[in-house]
Amino acid sequence: MYYLRITATIDHFRKVESRKICDKMAGQFYLSRDEYIAQQPPWFKRDCWEVLATEWSSPEFKKKSETNRANRCSRKFKPHKGGSNSIATIRQKLVSVQLLFFIRYSFVGSTQLIRLTI
């Protein structure tokens, strides 16, 4: 569904404004409801397309879309955490979690000690 709006925007620029834009640029433009409706794909039902056009042209959608774009461009957004972990890294993480568990829950009551094997 995301790319459907982009495709409609690209088609609008190509047919109406007689210029080509890439999909990254198309994502930054928001058309009016009537402009979206004019770019309806032939395989899409009219009623459904009108609902999408209404949603895409609403101020709430634009605000949410711009907020999400800004979040994706921020330094804090990291979709990938560096690939797979090696066996050694996993083992090290498990050991540290087990040690934290041992320290945190070492005393049950006042005299009983929980023993963990590491």
**29 and 69 belong to one structural domain:** yes
Q: Domain check: are 35 and 62 in the same one?
A: yes
Examine the domain organization and report whether 94 and 64 are in the same domain: no
pLDDT value of position 93: 76
Does the pLDDT of residue 53 top 70, yes or no?
yes
Does residue 95 sit in the same domain as residue 54?
A: no
Please check the confidence at residue 105 and state whether its pLDDT lies above 80: no
Domain identity same for 97 and 68: no
Domain boundaries, position 96: 82-118
69 shares a domain with 88? no
Which carries the bigger pLDDT value, residue 14 or residue 113? Answer: 14
Where does the pLDDT of residue 31 fall: very low under 50, low under 70, confident under 90, or very high at 90 and above? very high
> How many domains does the chain contain in total?
2
Same domain, 11 and 55: yes
Question: Can you give the three-state secondary structure of 29-63, one letter per residue?
Answer: CCCCHHHHHHCCCCCCCHHHHHHHHHHHCCHHHHH
Clarify whether residues 107 and 53 are in a common domain.
no
Residue 100, pLDDT score? 67
In percent, the amount of the chain with pLDDT more than 70 equals 75
Residues 112 and 57 in one domain: no
62 and 98 belong to one structural domain = no
C-alpha to C-alpha distance for 106 and 114, rounded to whole angstroms: 5
> What is the pLDDT averaged over residues 2-19?
91
Residue 110 has what pLDDT? 45
Q: Which of 69, 66, 64, 34 is nearest to 8 (CA)?
A: 34
pLDDT over threshold 70, residue 112 = no
Q: What is the pTM (predicted TM-score) of this model?
A: 0.61
